Amino acid sequence: MNRIKLDGYEVELLKFAQEIAYYLQKSGASAESAHDITQDVLVKMLESEIILPFEKMRAWMYRVAVRLYIDRYRRDKKYWEILQKEFFKEENLIVFDSPDYEPLYQAILLLEEKYRITIDLFYFQNFSVKEISQVIGVSISKVKIDLMRGRQKLKKILEKEGYTYEEFK
């Protein structure tokens, strides 16, 4: 396998690209997003055919990378808002097939929204913890904590009403 020889200018640009990827990761971007954005910066540089002195190239690359990162963040945030409006409608959240589950349904409705959504997605929509974290935009550990706390609160509500866990297996 032949290796491509890079001249000094290209080597320096690649160093800048690695530095920018590291900076984006420190700023909250995933490693994959940081590398994608950095690659987009290099492509943008090639497409625009800009002629900048080498000492200004680093600043230009950073500026473009930060703008691309902000654009991606805004796009993802807008996507998240659309998903929230369309996917998580009250009538779509909790569906029970049997009237025997009416007390459970009423108890779940008393939970805070974050617990109600997490419990519904996990138990009634059969989402995995990882899928729930992606859908609602929180960490996997946050989903696990919300499931645990939601179950505890649900158990207290049901026990207060005189029900036991075994009645809903």
Judged by DSSP in three states, 117 sits in helix
Domain chopping of the chain, boundaries: 8-86, 90-168
pLDDT tens-digit readout, 126-149: 788 888 887 777 888 999 999 999
- Residue showing tokens 């946050």: 142
Output the average pLDDT for the chain: 79
According to CATH, what is the number of the domain 90-168? 1.10.10.10
pTM over 0.75: no
Asked if residue 119 lies in contact with residue 150, where contact means CB atoms within 8 angstroms, the answer is yes
66-117 pLDDT tens trace? 888 888 877 777 766 666 666 655 554 444 555 566 777 788 888 888 888 8
Q: Hey, what amino acid is at 86?
A: E
Q: 38-43 — which CB contacts under 8 Å span 24+ positions?
A: 38/65, 40/68, 41/17, 41/65, 41/68, 42/13, 42/17
By 3-state DSSP, what share of the chain in percent is helix, strand and coil, each rounded to 5?
80, 0, 20
pLDDT reading at 34 higher than 80: yes
Task: Give the mean pLDDT of 51-72.
Answer: 83
